[in-house]
Structure 1
Amino acid sequence: MPQTDVIIIGSGIAALSAAYHLRHKQVTIITKSSWKKSNSMLAQGGIAAAVHTKDSWKNHYEDTLVAGCYHNDLKNVEHLVQDGPTEILEWCQRGMTFDCDLNGQFLLGKEGAHSQHRIIHAGGDATGREVTQFLYQSILPSVTVIENEMATDLIVNNSVCLGVATMCANGKMKRYLASKTIIASGGCGAMYGHTSNADIITGDGIAMAYRAGAKIADMEFIQFHPTMLNIDGRCVGLVSEAVRGEGASLINQNGEAFMDKLHPQGDLAPRDVVSRAIYYEMKKGNNVFLDISNLPNFSTRFPTISKLCEQYGINLDEGMIPVAPGMHFLMGGIQTNDKGETNILNLFAVGEAACTGVHGANRLASNSLLEGLVFGKRVANHLLSLPFEQPDRSVDVLTNTTAADEVIELPTKKQIQEIMTNYVGIQRTQAELTLAVNWFKFYQNQFTFWAFNVKNFTTEQIEIINMLTIGWLISTSAFNRTESRGGHYRLDFPETNDKDWRQKQLIRMKDEMYVGV
Structure 2
Amino acid sequence: MRESNVIIVGSGIAALQLAVQLPRHLNVIVITKSRMKESNSSLAQGGIAAAIGSKDNPCFHYADTLEAGRNINNKMTVRHVTSKAPKIIQELTEFRCRFDRENNNKIQLGKEGAHSHSRIIHGGGDQTGAAIIECLVKRMGPNIHVLEEECVYELLINREGRCFGVNTFGKNSELHTFVAPHVVLATGGCGQLYRFTSNSRLATGEGIALAYWAGAKIKDMEFIQFHPTLLFNEGQAHGLISEAVRGEGARLVDEGGKYLMDGIHPLRDLAPRHIVAQAIYHKLHEGKSIYLDVRPVSNFEKRFPAVSELCRKNQLYERIPVAPGCHFLMGGIETDLEGKTSIAGLYAIGEAACTGLHGANRLASNSLLEALVFGKRLAQYIGNQKTVIKFNTSQAPKVKTAWEISSLSLPKIKDIQFQMMQNVGIVRTGASLRQQLEWIDSFELKKWVNIDFANLTEKQWQIISMLQVCYLITRGALDRTESRGGHYRSDFPLESEKWLDKRITHLRIERRKSYEQSKA
Tell me the TM-score normalised to structure 1 length.
Answer: 0.95
SS in 1 for 2:347: strand
Deviations 1:1-38 (A, max 9, x none): 11100000000000011111114111110000011111
On the 8 A contact 1:192/1:421 being kept in 2, the answer is yes
Q: 1:44 to 1:510 in 2, by over 3 A?
A: closer
The residue aligned with 2:86 is: 85
Moved more, 381-390 or 88-97: 381-390
Quick one: distance in 1 between partners of 2:508 and 2:193?
24
On the 8 A contact 1:194/1:327 being kept in 2, the answer is yes
Quick one: distance in 1 between partners of 2:349 and 2:402?
32
The residue aligned with 2:370 is: 371
On the 8 A contact 2:399/2:510 being kept in 1, the answer is no
Identical residues among aligned pairs (%): 46
The residue aligned with 2:379 is: 380
The residue aligned with 1:133 is: 134
Moved more, 167-176 or 103-112: 167-176
The residue aligned with 2:504 is: 508
Moved more, 200-209 or 238-247: 200-209
The residue aligned with 1:53 is: 54
Give, in angstroms, the shift of residue 71 of structure 1.
1.4
Give, in angstroms, the shift of residue 293 of structure 1.
1.1
The residue aligned with 2:321 is: 322
Quick one: distance in 2 between partners of 1:205 and 1:101?
40
The residue aligned with 1:233 is: 235
The residue aligned with 1:245 is: 247
The residue aligned with 1:356 is: 355
Quick one: distance in 1 between partners of 2:258 and 2:512?
50
**Residue 150 (str. 1) matches residue 151 (str. 2):** yes
Out of 288, 291, 294, the residue aligned to residue 290 of structure 2 is 288
Deviations 1:351-377 (A, max 9, x none): 000001100000000000001100111
Question: What is the count of residue pairs matched by the alignment?
Answer: 509
Moved more, 163-172 or 476-485: 163-172
- For structure 2, the 5+ residue unaligned runs are 514-520
The residue aligned with 2:208 is: 206
Give, in angstroms, the shift of residue 514 of structure 1.
10
1:334-353 residue pairs with structure 2 within 5 A?
334-353=333-352
Out of 178, 181, 205, the residue aligned to residue 179 of structure 1 is 181
The residue aligned with 2:278 is: 276
Quick one: distance in 1 between partners of 2:504 and 2:476?
10
Q: 1:155 to 1:368 in 2, by over 3 A?
A: same
1:68-107 residue pairs with structure 2 within 5 A?
68-107=69-108
- AA aligned to 1:439 is W
Give, in angstroms, the shift of residue 495 of structure 1.
2.1
Deviations 1:188-239 (A, max 9, x none): 1100011011112111111011110000000000000000011111001000
Deviations 1:67-124 (A, max 9, x none): 0011100000011100000011011112213111121111100001001000001101
1:36-51 residue pairs with structure 2 within 5 A?
36-51=37-52
Moved more, 382-391 or 507-516: 507-516
Give, in angstroms, the shift of residue 447 of structure 1.
1.5
On the 8 A contact 2:126/2:306 being kept in 1, the answer is yes
Give, in angstroms, the shift of residue 443 of structure 1.
2.0
1:314-463 residue pairs with structure 2 within 5 A?
314=316, 316=317, 319-387=318-386, 389=388, 391-392=390-391, 394-396=393-395, 399-400=397-398, 402=400, 405-407=403-405, 408-444=408-444, 447-449=447-449, 451-463=450-462
Q: 1:470 to 1:329 in 2, by over 3 A?
A: same
Deviations 1:140-199 (A, max 9, x none): 543100000001111111210101111114221110010101000001110001101111
SS in 2 for 1:193: coil
Q: 1:6 to 1:405 in 2, by over 3 A?
A: farther
Quick one: distance in 1 between partners of 2:324 and 2:387?
45
**Residue 3 (str. 1) matches residue 7 (str. 2):** no
Quick one: distance in 1 between partners of 2:403 and 2:231?
42
Q: 1:167 to 1:309 in 2, by over 3 A?
A: same
- AA aligned to 1:197 is N
Quick one: distance in 2 between partners of 1:299 and 1:452?
52
Moved more, 409-418 or 238-247: 409-418
On the 8 A contact 1:405/1:453 being kept in 2, the answer is no
Q: 1:501 to 1:56 in 2, by over 3 A?
A: farther
SS in 2 for 1:85: helix
- AA aligned to 1:328 is H
On the 8 A contact 2:8/2:184 being kept in 1, the answer is yes
Give, in angstroms, the shift of residue 63 of structure 1.
0.5
Moved more, 168-177 or 142-151: 168-177
Give, in angstroms, the shift of residue 330 of structure 1.
0.4
Quick one: distance in 2 between partners of 1:288 and 1:516?
49
On the 8 A contact 2:167/2:177 being kept in 1, the answer is yes
Q: 1:169 to 1:460 in 2, by over 3 A?
A: farther
Quick one: distance in 2 between partners of 1:479 and 1:19?
38
Q: 1:231 to 1:59 in 2, by over 3 A?
A: same
**Residue 112 (str. 1) matches residue 113 (str. 2):** yes
SS in 1 for 2:85: helix
SS in 2 for 1:447: helix
Quick one: distance in 1 between partners of 2:337 and 2:14?
14
Quick one: distance in 2 between partners of 1:343 and 1:4?
22
Q: 1:411 to 1:65 in 2, by over 3 A?
A: same
Quick one: distance in 1 between partners of 2:7 and 2:505?
30
SS in 2 for 1:104: coil
On the 8 A contact 1:162/1:391 being kept in 2, the answer is no
On the 8 A contact 1:223/1:329 being kept in 2, the answer is yes
- For structure 1, the 5+ residue unaligned runs are none
Quick one: distance in 2 between partners of 1:403 and 1:136?
43
- AA aligned to 2:417 is Q
On the 8 A contact 2:81/2:373 being kept in 1, the answer is yes
